[in-house]
Amino acid sequence: MNFCSDNTAGVSPEILDALAKANVDTAMPYGADALTKKVEQRFNDLFECETSVYLVTTGTAANALALGAISPSYGSIYCHKDAHINCDECGAPEFYTSGAKLVTLPGPNGKLHQGEVEAALSATDDAVHHTQPAAISISQASEAGTVYGPGEIHHLSHVAKEYGLYLHMDGARFANALNTLGCSPADMTWKAGVDVLSFGSTKNGTMNAEAVVFFNDKIGKSIGYKRKRAGQLQSKMRFIAAQWDAYLENDLWLKNAAHANTMAQKLVKGLEGIAGCELYYPVEANEIFISMPELILQKLESAGYAFYRWHDAHCPVIRLVTSFNTNEKDVDGFIQTALNAQTE
């Protein structure tokens, strides 16, 4: 009954099994173990290219360390105004870049638009008084639950290249976006011009397995040292690697994301017809932003459904997030409760 966040979901049984299996014998620490090596190779296979992979345990660490690798302290990083790196990381990107500036831009449906980024970049100069453009960061899926198509990513990377910037992707919900697009991981990343990816899995069924994945070998690998300084070099790395290994095995990650997205679509279809309910953004992954009459929200809350109230426009807007283990009965119950409230 909890639609607050995909972080409220537990851990896939396959991941817990993998942790138990990794818990035998001894293994070399700090990533020098066989499972970590195996996972590094898995990433190469998955993305159909040579990657450099740094496993970490939070999405914030992945983003902050990735940005720290592509921006100097005097750099500017262009992102959407609602980006997680701007709103919800307590200044970690600024901290791990040693002070780079986040330049926030508007954009419809939570996404950066090529024209907006181009306009901002064309107004920059190399005066010593100004931070220097270093990177563009996009979230896939976005904080609005929308998804950049490969073409849109390509347009942004075109702008990035024109101005000599790197393109970073915050993929906390990478699998959900991939499920929507139906393209390959390569098509959604380096083939569209992404240089570095924060690859998330925690929201989609692991316990605490995130990764920074570099597609561009020109980026300095100082991140190895920075990860240690950030306290993100796990001594028992094999347990993070074990989660990634099981996550990618037998397409668990894709199945989990497909379920989450299907539940979101079911939920939105059930709610769309209800008087006074209006979608705030298109539903393209596993998040729904919808305005609903206060009376219906109160009935849902007192029936035990949990969700975040996002903000008040003309009518309260709530966020509903589905996950790999969202129960279909809860989705049906939510819709029915809202329908009943409407007719009371």
Nearer to ligand PLP, 82 or 118 (CB): 82
Of the ranges 55-63, 97-105, 212-220, 278-286, which one interacts with ligand PLP (CB under 6 A)? Answer: 55-63
Q: Which one of 52, 86, 104, 139 is in contact with ligand PLP (CB under 6 A)?
A: 139
Q: How far apart are CA 307 and CA 321, in angstroms?
A: 8
Q: How far is the CB of 85 from ligand PLP (least distance, A)?
A: 7
3-state SS, residue 278: strand
Q: What is the DSSP letter of 100?
A: P
Among 33, 40, 94, 143, binds ligand PLP (CB under 6 A): 143
Task: Report 56-75 residues binding ligand PLP (CB under 6 A).
Answer: 58-60, 63
User: Burial level of 90, CB count in 10 A (0-12/13-18/19+)?
Assistant: exposed
The distance of closest approach from Cβ of residue 170 to ligand PLP in the complex, given in angstroms and rounded to an integer, is: 5
Neighbour count for residue 313 (Cβ, 10 Å): 10
As a whole number of angstroms, the distance between CA 47 and CA 37 comes to 16
Q: How far is the CB of 58 from ligand PLP (least distance, A)?
A: 4
**Least distance to ligand PLP, CB of residue 92, Å:** 8
Question: How far is C-alpha 265 from the geometric centre of its chain's CA atoms?
Answer: 19
Tell me whether residue 84 or residue 227 sits nearer to ligand PLP (CB atom). Answer: 84
Asked if 272 and 279 touch (Cβ cutoff 8 Å), the reply is: yes
Residue 68 Rama label (left phi>0; alpha psi -120 to 50; beta): alpha
Residue 139 vs 204, nearer CB to ligand PLP: 139
> Given the rule CB under 6 A, which of 54-62, 215-223, 229-237, 323-331 is the region that contacts ligand PLP?
54-62
Q: Is the Cβ of residue 269 or residue 311 nearer to ligand PLP in the bound state?
A: 311
Q: What's the CA angle centered on 53, arms 49 and 56, to 5 degrees?
A: 150
Q: Which is nearer to ligand PLP, 177 or 338 (CB)?
A: 177
CB of 168 to ligand PLP, least distance (A): 11
Give the contacts of 96 (CB within 8 A, at least 6 positions apart): 64, 65, 67, 68, 226, 230
Of 58 and 104, CB closest to ligand PLP: 58
Identity of the residue, 326 or 337, whose beta carbon is nearer to ligand PLP in the bound complex: 326
- Taking the complex as a whole, the smallest distance from the CB of residue 332 to ligand PLP amounts, in Å, to 26
Give the helix ranges, DSSP H, for the chain: 13-22, 34-47, 59-70, 84-87, 92-96, 114-122, 150-162, 174-181, 185-188, 223-229, 238-248, 252-272, 294-302, 328-343
Write phi, then psi, for 287 (nearest 5 degrees).
Answer: -125, 140
Between residue 81 and residue 110, which ones bind ligand PLP under the rule CB under 6 A? Answer: 84
Q: Which is nearer to ligand PLP, 70 or 277 (by Cβ)?
A: 70
CA neighbours closer than 13 Å in the CB half-sphere of residue 17: 7
Binding of ligand PLP by 172 (CB under 6 A): yes
Closer residue to ligand PLP, CB minimum distance, 56 or 274 = 56
Question: Taking the complex as a whole, how short is the minimal distance between the CB of residue 93 and ligand PLP, in angstroms?
Answer: 11
To the nearest 10°, the Cα dihedral for 128, 129, 130, 134?
40
Site for ligand PLP in 194-223 (CB under 6 A): 202
Q: How many residues of this chain interact with ligand PLP, rule: CB under 6 A?
A: 10
Q: Report the interface residues with ligand PLP, using CB under 6 A.
A: 58-60, 63, 84, 139, 143, 170, 172, 202
